[in-house]
Structure 1
């Protein structure tokens, strides 16, 4: 049965608990997310190559991440807010096209400024992709919002793990221009998103106008909603600053401390990101069953013993601890997104854009700051400092219990 043939059989969005979860659509969306985030993660994965080619400092590496993250961070909430009132189904393949342009520019960049522009274009593509695709995931959830968000997110996390692996297999042996061959990834994404956009457009046309905006039913006051959002934002800060230390500098940490080759360091980053994908996949369904508040609390605070131990252990133990940290920490993101959307169910796109955007922005600013710290001290010192960030997880105690 085609995706379009299911549109008329699906009740309005407001009756989500009677809907069927559209796994085919969710898997296609997850696949598109995988392709989008593979391109994103390819950028930090080739940092060691760019550092050598353009003789960059750690601060300049941080600015590349900042250029990518800021375009995604600043645009995503605005796009989400706009599309809450004016959904744009066909913006999905358009966003992936912008990502394609950024990837090709990165492959043939002749100087540092071209790399910055390429990074910014990849960020713009992501800023268009995430708010609308998150809305599609909720539309197709059949009421299993955590499961749908996890399926969507696991594609992204898997893509983040694939970038370093592809860099190790193709870019390191064959040079920067080999990145151009990876244009097949966003081209495939454009194809998938074109099909999803047709379903999305038909779904919107079949929905009663009043059902396109949800009304909150949690009974919380605006003060309680604002307080809960403030806690979630603090937890996002903790999570993504710590993640930035891995996505931007983990390979350098392994190379400097344990003297491993670049390819080995990239494969270790792949292990960390693969663990993150697994944690993301399980976090949403567990949150549906036991409550998202408990998943959020355990995920952030639960990694504290492992982050504190990480700077003091040998290479094999570092890999084991990194796997545990990636798995546990990443189980929170789908739960945080769904929890925030249930706080503001009439602002699905804006919430998704805000939280995805903040994820990019926090990570970008953190990468820049941590790069300066690494230049001034050492890359090892960065992991001593960031080890205490999970303490912020105690704030999850103050989240309302009825969501």
Structure 2
């Protein structure tokens, strides 16, 4: 077996020994590989909202119907993620990595030729299923390859996904506006590349498991303090709610702000997409720097600051000129998404060893709940107009004050040490 630290494997003749999770080295080639696949996966997911203006025009869809497409994507990519993650924590399944990308390949291929609303819904559900299969096992691979640098590994892994999402608006400008819906065929190339890379990563993953790597430490059976169990449960609910609120506000910008620019500034679609790209690209940069910032200022503190710190920019956004809108989007995207990887790390501290379950819960289920927000936003726009909805959504990050109810980092570290 190649490039696996000897300390992470059982030595010959030690079959009776318990597998040990003692790998120290950070395997950057695997981290970069799984981050690039995260970029492929999420850039393909970004195709869906990127194509909304084209679908709305071609199929004469309402904003509510656009919301249902977003809902179908987010729910299928998220609702089953905790289930897949829970199963993976009990029995790792490296084969899900390439199989998930195969599902994504089929979905984007069908999307290119879908000629009615039902086929569009089915194609985005396939893309969603592929994403649901990738994220829990991808998260576990990133954790495995991290060695002792767990925060860095999360930043590398998550920045790939957020960078992929940021490409969505530019995909509209470069591909869907010139070529229309058939332009989705371009992304079968991304999906095929993802399948190849995932096959390589899955092989390394399997070799590590065969060598004896385990995500769980053996602990003696003991009764967990009921008060602590209640605190962990409450913290989990608050964390999921915070990610839900962040996703809901993100949906108002990523899915609908381009329509706001077109209506209020008479901006052409390709120019409007540049603004969305700036917001998402700034968010990807914020994701990368979020880990180091959390190490310096604390994870709970960064989650609080990232939400509440977005409020002034979100509230001012509907009332400024085009120039200042671009500035506010850049700052707001960086601040809001600086906590993206930090919320995952915080959840992993709440549930050490349950990497797949945490991934499904935080990057899956909570993000998928944002799909409900997208559906609600689309319906509200049809009813009261896009300007009123964008203004109202600016208040959502204010609920980030709920982060004050989360246990402090020191408390989590004390629990882990006991």
**TM-score (norm: length of structure 1):** 0.94
Partner residue, 1:370 = 377
Equivalent of residue 159 in structure 2, options 131, 154, 160: 154
- How many Å apart are 1:163 and its aligned residue? 2.1
Q: How does 1:252-331 map to 2 (within 5 A)?
A: 252-331=259-338
Q: What secondary structure is seen at the aligned counterpart in 1 of 2:356?
A: helix
Partner residue, 1:335 = 342
- How many Å apart are 1:347 and its aligned residue? 1.5
Question: Whole-Å Cα distance in 2 between the matches of residues 216 and 121 of structure 1?
Answer: 40
Equivalent of residue 215 in structure 2, options 212, 215, 223: 212
Residues 262-310 of structure 1: CA deviation (Å, up to 9, x unaligned): 1111121111110011000111222234321121111111111111111
Q: CA RMSD in A?
A: 1.9
Question: Whole-Å Cα distance in 2 between the matches of residues 322 and 340 of structure 1?
Answer: 28
Question: Whole-Å Cα distance in 2 between the matches of residues 38 and 23 of structure 1?
Answer: 22
The question of whether the paired residues in 2 share the 8 Å contact of 1:147 and 1:288 is answered with: no
Residues 326-381 of structure 1: CA deviation (Å, up to 9, x unaligned): 11111111110011011101321111111122243222111110001000011111
- How many Å apart are 1:213 and its aligned residue? 2.1
Equivalent of residue 101 in structure 1, options 90, 100, 106: 106
Question: Whole-Å Cα distance in 1 between the matches of residues 21 and 189 of structure 2?
Answer: 39
Partner residue, 2:246 = 239
Count of paired positions: 397
The question of whether the paired residues in 2 share the 8 Å contact of 1:10 and 1:20 is answered with: no
Question: Whole-Å Cα distance in 2 between the matches of residues 188 and 34 of structure 1?
Answer: 11
- How many Å apart are 1:10 and its aligned residue? 5.1
Question: Whole-Å Cα distance in 1 between the matches of residues 311 and 365 of structure 2?
Answer: 22
Distance 1:281-1:215 versus aligned 2 partners, 3 A rule: farther
- How many Å apart are 1:15 and its aligned residue? 5.2
Partner residue, 1:41 = 46
Partner residue, 2:358 = 351
Distance 1:105-1:360 versus aligned 2 partners, 3 A rule: farther
Question: Whole-Å Cα distance in 2 between the matches of residues 22 and 10 of structure 1?
Answer: 14
Of the structure 1 ranges 370-379 and 359-368, higher mean CA displacement relative to structure 2 is found in 359-368
Alignment of 1:25 onto 2:22: no
Partner residue, 1:397 = 404
- How many Å apart are 1:14 and its aligned residue? 6.3
**TM-score (norm: length of structure 2):** 0.91
The question of whether the paired residues in 2 share the 8 Å contact of 1:301 and 1:394 is answered with: yes
The question of whether the paired residues in 1 share the 8 Å contact of 2:245 and 2:370 is answered with: no
Partner residue, 1:11 = 8
Question: Whole-Å Cα distance in 1 between the matches of residues 194 and 382 of structure 2?
Answer: 38
Distance 1:318-1:195 versus aligned 2 partners, 3 A rule: same
The question of whether the paired residues in 1 share the 8 Å contact of 2:245 and 2:396 is answered with: yes
Alignment of 1:66 onto 2:63: no
- How many Å apart are 1:234 and its aligned residue? 2.0
Distance 1:216-1:338 versus aligned 2 partners, 3 A rule: farther
Residues 73-124 of structure 1: CA deviation (Å, up to 9, x unaligned): 2110100011110100111010011011110111000111110001111110
Distance 1:326-1:297 versus aligned 2 partners, 3 A rule: same
Q: Gaps spanning 5+ residues in structure 1: where?
A: none
- How many Å apart are 1:389 and its aligned residue? 1.1
The question of whether the paired residues in 2 share the 8 Å contact of 1:216 and 1:342 is answered with: no
Residues 22-53 of structure 1: CA deviation (Å, up to 9, x unaligned): 21111111100000000000110110000000
Alignment of 1:385 onto 2:381: no
Q: What secondary structure is seen at the aligned counterpart in 1 of 2:334?
A: helix
Q: What secondary structure is seen at the aligned counterpart in 2 of 1:259?
A: coil
- How many Å apart are 1:142 and its aligned residue? 1.6
Question: Whole-Å Cα distance in 2 between the matches of residues 25 and 9 of structure 1?
Answer: 17
Partner residue, 1:180 = 185
Question: Whole-Å Cα distance in 1 between the matches of residues 294 and 31 of structure 2?
Answer: 18
The question of whether the paired residues in 2 share the 8 Å contact of 1:216 and 1:346 is answered with: no
Question: Whole-Å Cα distance in 2 between the matches of residues 96 and 370 of structure 1?
Answer: 30
Distance 1:155-1:216 versus aligned 2 partners, 3 A rule: farther
Q: What secondary structure is seen at the aligned counterpart in 2 of 1:175?
A: helix
